[in-house]
Amino acid sequence: KIMVNHSQSQVEIWNSIAPEWHGFKTNPSQHVNEFLENKNGNVLNHGSGSGRHLISIPKDFKGKLFLVDFSKQ
């Protein structure tokens, strides 16, 4: 169970749950793959974690992916 101290900053909170979250969220999401099919342009993935969605980007994707996350964990 994840315990959150509410006096922590957002970065501290995400750093504290990152290891467990990473273990839980390892596979790309099917709805993300479906969204990127036949798309052109740029995508901002806010809260990208370890970048799990990069694993199976559709081969026909034309654009750039920008990944941003609070945690460096």
Encode pLDDT of 55-65 as tens digits. 777 777 788 88
Neighbours of 2 (CB within 10 A): 8
Confidence of residue 18 (pLDDT cuts 50, 70, 90): confident
Rg (CA), the chain: 14
| pLDDT tens string 33-44 | 788 787 788 888
Q: How far apart are CA 44 and CA 36, in angstroms?
A: 12
